[in-house]
Amino acid sequence: MKNEKRIVLTGDRPTGPLHLGHYVGSLQSRITLQDTADQYVMIADLQALTDYAKESDFVRKNVFQVALDYLAVGIDPQKTVIFIQSLIPPLTELTLYYLNLVTWNRLKHNPTVKQEIVHKGFGEGVPAGFMVYPICQAADITAFKATCVPVGEDQLPMIEQTNEIVRAFNRTYKKDVLVEAEAFLSRAARLPGIDGSPKMSKTLNNAIYLSDTSDQVKKKVQKMYSDPRHLRVEDPGRVEGNPLFYYLDAFGKETSKIEQLKEHYRRGGLGDGVVKKHLLEVLIDFLEPIQKRRALFEKDPEGVMDILRSGSAKALEKASSTLSEVRSAMGLTY
């Protein structure tokens, strides 16, 4: 039975198809949470425009691709409200009100924003929309009065800033309209890229996507980074920090076999090729049912869009109710 007091808000920017890192980091949680909470999953096209403003058609096309991935992995529109951010005008109005409750200095020193500016290579050309996207996130979260937000550790400063805004609003207008949210951290460790980088991403071109074909997955597994010191089959290999075993632990079902492979690898006599062969079998087994479901949904694009429109209508109703309360607390009732 659903716990009506627990409301979940989560989502992704439509800047490309979702990958295995997304699955381990958030999609698994969403599939579980949809049975225990009222969950809203947002396709954050407005946030994507903070650094893809000149590629809006690219963002629009990826809204559909992300929706396909959501449905393919098992996010059920009968249990979860899936919606498009730009179809919810109250979110932008709430952002405008919240901007007056946060100093520019606070935004500049948000750790996540600082890291992303470096990662994206903005230099001095940081879009103003990008600088204020923590405020947009606060609007997204509070519009649905979310009490739980699944995030990675790098996003914890965003939840902290959201809760600062909640407290500032309620204190300023002397009414407890907004509610604080709690971060929900995935139990799974972040999945490294196939090149050994700590993060899997489209930008780094080191990801295996949920929509990749078997041939694409095979090529990527074959070139995966492993233990650089494991030069000969007979050499002892390192399991810890080895992406091959991160992936096996994340997606393999035969835990006893994986433990045997680890032990053999550590003592030597087991080549990377053997491990990669087993990993390929594991990943194909995991991805095949997802891709079959994806292909079915892909044949009915209008049906998928109907799901998004229906979810957006539900989201709009909820966000509009919150906005009405916010405007009333602020005295904007003309």
Residue 4 has pLDDT above 60, yes or no: no
| Nearest-angstrom CA–CA distance, 121 and 334 | 45
237-242 long-range contacts, CB within 8 A, separation 24+: 237/265, 237/266, 237/268, 237/270, 237/272, 238/266, 239/265, 239/266
- Indicate whether 188 pLDDT > 70: no
Query: Looking at the predicted structure, is the pLDDT value of residue 2 above 60?
Result: no
Q: Which carries the bigger pLDDT value, residue 152 or residue 88?
A: 88
Distance, in Å, from the CA atom of 120 to the CA atom of 82, rounded to the nearest integer, reads 28
Within 13 Å and on the Cβ side, how many CA atoms surround 132? Answer: 18
123 CB-near residues (< 8 Å, 6+ apart): none
DSSP H helical segments within 23-155, as ranges? 28-33, 45-52, 56-73, 90-99, 104-108, 111-120, 128-131, 133-143
In the chain the domains, ranked by start, together with CATH numbers, are: 7-191+301-330 (3.40.50.620), 214-294 (1.10.240.10)
DSSP for 289-307 reads HHHHHHHHHHT-HHHHHHH
Return mean pLDDT, the chain. Answer: 92
CA distance 189 to 156: 15
Q: Which residue's structure tokens are 């096996």?
A: 248
Q: What is the pLDDT of residues 49-64, one digit of tens each?
A: 988 999 999 999 999 9
pTM of the model: 0.91
- Residue 1: predicted pLDDT: 42
What average pLDDT does range 258-263 have in this prediction?
96
151: β partners: 185
- Residue 133: what pLDDT? 87
The answer, yes or no, to whether residue 187 has pLDDT greater than 80, is no
Highest-confidence range of 2-11, 18-27, 68-77, 151-160, by mean pLDDT?
Answer: 68-77
**pLDDT above 80 (res 199):** yes
Each residue of 94-142: pLDDT tens digit?
A: 999 999 999 988 888 888 888 888 877 887 888 888 888 899 999 999 9
Residue 288: enclosing H or E segment and its boundaries? helix 272-298
Report the relative pairing of strands 182-185 and 148-151 from DSSP bridges: parallel
